Structure 1
Amino acid sequence: MTNSDPHSGAATPGSRLPLDGVRVLDLSSNAPGPFCTMVLADLGADIVVVDRPPVASELGAQVSIPNAQVDGLARPHFDAFARNKRRIGVNIKKDGGADIIRSLAARSDVVLIEMRPGKAEAAGIGYSDLSALNRGLIYCSITGFGQNGPYRNRPGHDVNYLGYSGALSLFARRDAVPPPPPNMIADYGAAGLLAATSILAALQARHVTGEGQFVDISMLDATTYLLAEWMSTTFDPMGDPTVLADYPPYDVYTCGDGRLITVGCVEPRFWTTLCEVIERPELVALAGDVTRRTELRTELQRTFERKTVTEWLDLLDPHDLPVGAVNSLDELEDDPQIQARDMVTTLSSEHGPVRQVGIGPKLSATPGSIRRLGVPLGADSDEILDELGYSAATVGQLRGAGTVFG
């Protein structure tokens, strides 16, 4: 993908990438880790993913998890998490497997790992093991609950961390059970991005100290961190952290064509203008009456059913109001703002056109880029082992022993 527009986030041929020269050893396999290294890879880091031997899915054929070590990444070129990365297949339980990991760590700037506390140490690839080989190593561990505390060894998924943090309660209308959202919050928006930010901070600190460090990312911590504003209003006796969870001027309504429209008219000037433009000025006063919120929501729903979502947006947009359509993922690439920002991009490949999410960070001088589509598990094993100094004969022995694959 090439583009000279400084706002597109696309690199021009030969341009420098902000993380050129940074080597990351990715030992993760589940959502936050691969997302974190996708961000770093898009910005130029050399990501070496250590693939585990593929296993059958425990979740059933109806469930698909991007980049999980399931069924061998049969279509890796469609997997955005796999792009811009090199892959080596290593069975750490086989003879020589841990040695390969240690050799890779010795030449890396960053190690990213997802294992419950104590597991990496038991395998000989804990922080103390690897930092002894590389004093500048930044070792980032992503776990559900962190390295300490009574929950440290519990399993968990996005919905569990949302529940413990209190975030899930904010999705519910009053007296209702909150629906679990997709795993984009704790996994990606919280832990994945916090890990990437923390790694970059640790790299900057190393410029000053010359020393690496251990980075402890808890998915529960990360989700709780997102709640800074809501926690502030909770701890303030005058605050109400649920004010927008059951507030008709901040809601979603069904239009006459069955499509949805989002309304975010929280500020009085927006709310007043909305009511005037939809020809319901009598609704202005109802926003502040908690006892009439059900009535207000019902009236707004009846009103929005009078037109299609396109008709409403054509009417409302000229009045500078925070309203918008709810796109399906199939509709996303046709949205003119998404197009303008190159947030859905089409890439050519031997498999034909491949669509993926674009580059999120937009850096004007050193933008990120998609330089390589995902490859199968262990596709770069020989190349990476050659860089480590392994002879062809040794690699053949490791393959024969099942230590290396791909």
Structure 2
Amino acid sequence: MTAIPLHKPVFDDARDGVRRRILDYARARCIGLGQPPARAMARGRFADHPGADRPTLMGTVDFAYAFHVTGLLDELSNPDDRRRWIELVLSFQGEDGWFRAKDRQTHGVEHATAYALGAVQILAGSRIRAGELAVAPLTDLRGQLAPQPSARQAPFAVGLLDRIHFWRGSHRVGGIAAIVGAVRDLRLDSARLLGLDDPDAWLRGWAGNVLARVSPADGMWHEAPAALQMAFDAAYRLRHDPGHARIGGAAHLYWIISRLGIPYPHPQPLIDAVAPRVGPGGLCERHPYCLDFDAAFLLARAADHLDAADPAAERARRTLERSRRAVLAWLEERAPERWPAGSHFLPGALAAVAEADRALPPADARGWTDAFETVWWL
């Protein structure tokens, strides 16, 4: 592919301002419990909302991602702190193996578990070995996995509601694959934890199954009967945009496909479907969050499969530039007290900027870290 020529961005001042605001936002959610504030922050003792009396899974994981993307993690913590942080994350694993978010967005166990293991990947880095990670077997998930998925053999069951409400269902379809990928990359014993002797073969089978169903019309997934989908979308539209939900659903699968290094089957229709959903001001909705990252990821990774001169690739680049400016401006122009109370918006907003950094400027001009160099889920 031809490299994308683009100027070096001039966002250094904005990034520094955002990093300072992130620290203020984090301090308001830090739970000291008798520890000095700096130590509590270095060890991930965060709640996802202010006013809590103890750390929460979503809080401690949200800030692991946010600090990693912005380069703050290395400045705030040392390897011993991160071991303590990992211990805190793993303390949320239940007896059945699942992590549970218990947050106000009611994220399911597949999302919470994949997200928690992503934080462990970030915090472990290259310094903490698999033998130091006390991850318990995922006993409930083990019983759900087909041992040899393929184009004809589903990797696990997906219910009708999850097929209709595919944004919700994609947390299961993609999240379980992300769990397998994280266990593999952490060099944990996949046979003991998941009942899988060959996680690489399982992931290839998973990819073969989901890619057999992708639509050539828009590069996305349409899993439900058309009449049911139309009825659901009409009701869903009273509160949300079904098109945005489809972007999130597609991103959750393309995260895994990208980590596996598998080419996108329909990159141009995917860009054509996603780009119009990014608003003229650069944000998908009123404030930046994971949807902005989902759109940025799909646009950037699809454009990677096209020649730089392709009109769809150019459209993706223009949209990414607009999105990056909008996210940084929104975060820089507002005091942290005016950001959403729940911290889960923050990793997605920051990852949207990092994804634009990855796709647009020369590699030596990257401002923030692409989390998907490490993780399988966000």
Give the alignment's TM-score, normalised by structure 1: 0.23
In proportion to residue count, which structure has more helix? 2
Question: Larger radius of gyration, structure 1 or 2?
Answer: 1
| Structure (1/2) with the larger strand percentage | 1
- Length-normalised TM-score, structure 2: 0.24
